[in-house]
Amino acid sequence: MDHIKETTIYDIAKQLNISPATVSRGLKDHPAISGKTKKKIKETATKMGYRFNTFASNLRRQRTNTIGVIVPRLNSHIMSSALAGMEKAANQSGYNLIISQSLESSAKERANALTMFNNRVDGLIVSLSSDTTEYDHFKPFTDKTIPLFFFDRVWEDSKCPKFVIHNFKAAYDATRHLIRQGCSRITHITGNLTCHLYKDRLNGYRQALLDNGLTFHEESVICNDLSIESGALVAQTIVKAPQLPDGLFIASDTCAVSCMQTLKSMGIKIPEDIAIVGFNNDPITRFVEPRLTTIHYPGDEMGEMVAKNLISLLNGNTDILQATTLVIRSELIIRESSGIK
Amino acid sequence: MDHIKETTIYDIAKQLNISPATVSRGLKDHPAISGKTKKKIKETATKMGYRFNTFASNLRRQRTNTIGVIVPRLNSHIMSSALAGMEKAANQSGYNLIISQSLESSAKERANALTMFNNRVDGLIVSLSSDTTEYDHFKPFTDKTIPLFFFDRVWEDSKCPKFVIHNFKAAYDATRHLIRQGCSRITHITGNLTCHLYKDRLNGYRQALLDNGLTFHEESVICNDLSIESGALVAQTIVKAPQLPDGLFIASDTCAVSCMQTLKSMGIKIPEDIAIVGFNNDPITRFVEPRLTTIHYPGDEMGEMVAKNLISLLNGNTDILQATTLVIRSELIIRESSGIK
DNA sequence: GTGAAAGCGCTAACAT
DNA sequence: ATGTTAGCGCTTTCAC
């Protein structure tokens, strides 16, 4: 844009009749520089409107102090919480975050990964798009041993550190809870099954059925994009079925809430006619009526943990990360939407 | 981390017995380079595992293709939507986003601004912390004519482009709506009044009262941090007052929803006893009972618009941005929480 | 405690 | 259509 000449360490050096090297050191509080010189340097720097040139430094040091993050969407409860946690950790340690979203498109994820690579991020944190089945866009990172961390939706077969919840168990608990509440015809509404997250939840659901003497029916599993719109649509499908389910386990709160509302508007009583359990503990679950039973897991802590571990690794503390998979506690929060029938 | 030598354009040049300049041009699809040469260059680059060095390029070109964003919080409906919109626009135009949050602390905002400055972002997009009253941390940007754009919570007295909604009008409409619904004792719950956003809303509220023959009472304005917790607290304060208000205009949906729920739990009927209007059209408003009347404005469009305009300016299309303040349409969405009494 | 100088990888003006 | 060359501003090794 503008071409007003920037002040460099050379300008400061000339001004003070010292060498650029001394200026560089002085600005960085190098121990070999005398306090007096340092003070002079810093004052002159401020006076001359000097600003540190990160690129020149990066170019020289071959590091960026930048962490790349790719998430499916920025604006979902879990993801924005996780990002907030990461930002906090990064900021504390002097790292920057470059954030991009794949919008659930593997192609966009691929493009974003390349950009991150070219931007020479020191490390990359990814939560996968739900349709990602190939992972060669991450090969450049693994090839160059650039730390690659996954969270929530992870690349299961990789050796990269993974931060997840126990989706199978969470789904198992949710389903078992519905069964204990007296449900025997439980429908599971979930996302793209190419994604382990939803596959695991499905398996947990199925196992809970089997373990409790119930039969698993393919027809009782409905896959969609778990959006608010899909929640309403699903409700309409459900009521048209020959027999109403008496329980719903929905893999996302926003979808669940929308589904619940549509069901209610059609005169179906929650939980008397249909009990419902969601997933994520979105704030919304506490304010709908009945309040939604759900699976809680701390997105912000998860994000903070991922970032902290990555930074720690980047700073050379390799010992901190011992496990390649870190399972973060999740829990069933029982509320009225699955209440005693 | 690792110190495996990176492939540079020099390596490619040597390999092909051409000059680095040709390689540089070839990789950039410069028209002067023959198709055959380009093809050769690109193939060799891929084969040799070349990756473009953004820093060297940035250092040389004195540009970064990076936009800095500072928001109060990453994880609020409006902000995460706005960020999603910005990311979309940036990504389309080959820009990166560096995002940080001030967490409603002016000090942190200051620190973040400095980091952005040192990172030589091509432009900066800010939504202010609610306690920001001094703006000298933005002076480096204005001094160097680095484009500085504000949105939602803006620096009113600056000459920077501002993207806002008409907060006064929105609040006026909301309050007038309550009055038309028969409310005469309307309490306004809002945020930090040092922030124009909340001041404007307060003024709109006051004016609506006055224009309709009602008296404005200082005591009918309650300021807090508009959090979910504060919503519940406010509800408890309200019921202890000598006379119950018959209307509430709350400057944030999440707070409003929480307040409403607490009031309901204490046996107060919404809207019969107290009508409520919120602000932001958070998805949550459509799922509470009664559904919350609120002010809608499109965060994602706002974000996209800000980013697009900034990028357009960065690309030299100075004509696109004509107004310094762009007021984005907002509207009152009437739902049951303020229903006919 | 401070200085000299090379070089990180790319770009663009100028040359051919 | 391609080559030469001079930096962009910082860091760091080696010297004094």
pLDDT at residue number A2: 41
Q: Which helix (H) or strand (E) holds A334?
A: none
Over residues A238-264, mean pLDDT: 96
Which residues does chain B have within 8 Å of residue A97's beta carbon, measured at their own beta carbons?
98-100
Q: Residue A228's closest chain B neighbor by CA?
A: B283
Which residues of chain B lie closer than 8 angstroms to A81, CB-CB? 75
Beta bridge partners of A249: A188, A277
Distance CA B161, CA B167 (A): 17
Mean pLDDT of chain B: 92
In this predicted structure, the answer to whether residue A278 has a pLDDT above a threshold of 90 is yes
Please say whether the beta carbons of A128 and A160 come within 8 A.
Answer: no
Interface subset of A 235-294, CB within 8 angstroms of B? 254, 257-258, 261, 283-284, 286-289
Rounded-to-integer distance, Cα A325 and Cα A305, Å: 12
Q: Do B144 and A52 touch (CB under 8 A)?
A: no
Split at pLDDT 50, 70, 90, the class of A55 is confident
Q: What is the pLDDT of residue B28?
A: 87
- Check whether A43 has a pLDDT greater than 50: yes
Contact A254, A294 (CB under 8 A): no
CA angle (B149, B153, B159) in 5-degree steps = 40
**Chain A residues 38-77, Cβ below 7 A from strand D:** 50, 52-53, 56-57, 59-61
Residue A110 above 90 pLDDT?
yes
**What is the 3 state secondary structure string of chain B?**
CCCCCCCCHHHHHHHHCCCHHHHHHHHCCCCCCCHHHHHHHHHHHHHCCCCCCHHHHHHHHCCCCEEEEEECCCCCHHHHHHHHHHHHHHHHCCCEEEEEECCCCHHHHHHHHHHHHHCCCCEEEECCCCCCCCCHHHHHHHHCCCCEEEECCCCCCCCCCEEEECHHHHHHHHHHHHHHCCCCCEEEEECCCCCHHHHHHHHHHHHHHHHCCCCCCHHHEEECCCCHHHHHHHHHHHHHCCCCCCEEEECCHHHHHHHHHHHHHCCCCCCCCCEEECCECCHHHHCECCCCEEEECCHHHHHHHHHHHHHHHHCCCCCCCCCCEEEECCEEECCHHHCCC
State the DSSP code for A185.
S
Q: How are beta strands B162-165 and B148-151 bridged, if at all?
A: parallel
Who has greater pLDDT, B260 or A116? B260
- Residues 6 or more apart from A213 whose CB is under 8 A from it? none
DSSP string for residues in A270-307: TTTT-EEE-SB--GGGGTBSSPPBEEE--HHHHHHHHH
Sign of torsion, CA B155 B157 B158 B164? positive
B59-110 pLDDT per residue, tens: 888 888 899 999 999 889 999 999 999 999 998 888 889 899 999 999 999 9
Q: How far apart are CA A13 and CA A8, in angstroms?
A: 9
Q: What's the pLDDT tens digit per position in B125-162?
A: 999 999 999 999 999 898 888 899 999 999 999 999 99
- Among the partner-chain residues A59, A140, A289, the one whose CB lies closest to the CB of B55 is A59
State whether residue B117 sits within 8 Å of chain A by CB: yes
Q: What pLDDT sits at residue A33?
A: 87
Which amino acid type is present at position B170? A
Q: Give the residue from B287, B60, B131 showing the smallest Cα distance to A255.
A: B287
Q: What is the mean pLDDT of residues A252-273?
A: 96
Please give the helix or strand (H or E) that residue A255 lies within, else none: helix A253-265
- The mean pLDDT value for A24-42 works out to 89
Q: Read off the pLDDT band of B341 (50, 70, 90).
A: very low
* Dist CA A69 CA A303 (whole Å): 11
Q: Do A83 and B74 touch (CB under 8 A)?
A: yes
Beta bridge partners of B227: none
**In chain B, which residues have their Cβ closer than 8 Å to the Cβ of A55?**
55-56, 58-59, 64, 120
Coil, helix or strand for A106? helix
- 25-44 of chain A touching strand C, CB 7 A cut-off: 25, 31-34, 36-37
Query: Half-sphere exposure of B168 toward its Cβ, with a 13 Å CA cutoff?
Result: 6
H or E element in which residue A266 lies: none
Q: How far is CA A66 from CA A122, A125, A271, B38, B127, in A?
A: 6, 11, 48, 32, 23
Rounded to whole angstroms, how far apart are CA atoms A240 and B172? 45
Distance between CA atoms of B246 and B339, rounded to whole angstroms?
12
For C8, which residue's CA is nearest its C1'? A60
Cα–chain-centroid distance for residue A86? 9
pLDDT of residue A94: 82
> Measured between alpha carbons, how far is A173 from A277 in angstroms, rounded to an integer?
10
Q: Looking at per-residue confidence, does A291 or A93 come out higher?
A: A291
